Amino acid sequence: MKTPMRPLLASALLCAPLFATAAPALTPEQSLDLYARVLIEDDAAAARTLNDAMRSAHDGKDAVTPTPGALAKALAEPWMALQASAGGQADAAATEAMYAKVLKASTCRATGSSIEDNEYVDDQKIATVEFTCQVANLDSVRPLFSASMQHPEPANSTRFIEAYTQALNSGTQRTVKGSQKLYSGAGQAYWFSGSFDELVTPVLEAIAPFQAWMEDAEAASAPKVTGVPGCDLLLQQHRSCVAKIAPEQISGVDAMAEELKAKAQVKSADEMTQECKALRSIAQMMWTDECA
């Protein structure tokens, strides 16, 4: 049973509107909370609050044009495809409603912020807003997912699908943390961002963690260099690819491994996981079909 996590995230993030905002009366924390309510919870009242705050900076027009149900639909489509591949059937409206309910409960709220000068733009600031999100707890589902991957018989796939659906409907949650950068206009009159991936991605990855679960399973057999599964898998895959397409650059992979190993001694596993996610996106730009 294959899980289309990458297309899911891509489609979901493409569905999230990008805002250039002007909110004179709002702090970075207040702005972050409103963006979360609009993007993740489909909160129409939050959209109105943002538009009221920004209207004077947008010629009296609404600056925020949310797309209700976009994330729920983006999550529902690949999940229904997965069910179909396992021989099951799903009701599109019911599935989207299930994800909409889960997203509405996935509250992300600011816990604080730090502000620094924007060295590239005079008289502007950058706020790093820390936040926490309450997301679905799928820990009980993970063993069944692993079983369905190792032994993809219809019965195993059905058990996983049923358990996953039950876990989402149960409302059991856990907390995840993240941070989002917001940029100010002159005099900190408003805060904006060209992308809210930092805010939305932790929620999407919590609700549909299949790609991460598969990578963790693959990492179990990777050489232990850093002790962080995502980093060790990246190093193994990057080394294998470079050995095929540019063997003369293997020394660069060795240097990368030593650097990550050193960082793992002083950084947390979560910090290393995030760093290696960023490195993966860079490394994959040079991977060719030969690396598959």
Q: What 8-state DSSP symbol labels residue 69? A: T
Report d(CA 184, CA 292) in Å as an integer. 42
Task: Convert the pLDDT of each residue in 94-138 to its tens digit.
Answer: 999 999 999 999 999 999 999 998 888 888 889 999 999 999 999
In the numeric block, the tokens 């240097």 are attached to: 255
> Could you read off the pLDDT of 40-72 as tens digits, one per residue?
999 999 999 888 877 777 777 888 889 999 999
Given CA atoms 143, 146, 151, 154 in this order, what sign does their dihedral have?
A: positive
H or E stretch including 95? helix 92-105
Amino acid of residue 83: Q
Q: What's the rounded mean pLDDT across residues 263-286?
A: 91
Helix H or strand E segment including 30: helix 28-39
57 burial class (0-12, 13-18, 19+ CB within 10 angstroms)?
middle
Which residues face 175 on adjacent strands? 134
Neighbours of 120 (CB within 10 A): 8
- The string of DSSP letters for 96-148 reads HHHHHHHHHH--EEEEEEEEEE-TTSTT-EEEEEEEEEEEE--TTTHHHHHHH
Q: What is the pLDDT of residues 230-247, one digit of tens each?
A: 899 999 999 999 999 999
Dist CA 31 CA 65 (whole Å) = 16
263 CB burial (10 A radius; 0-12, 13-18, 19+): middle
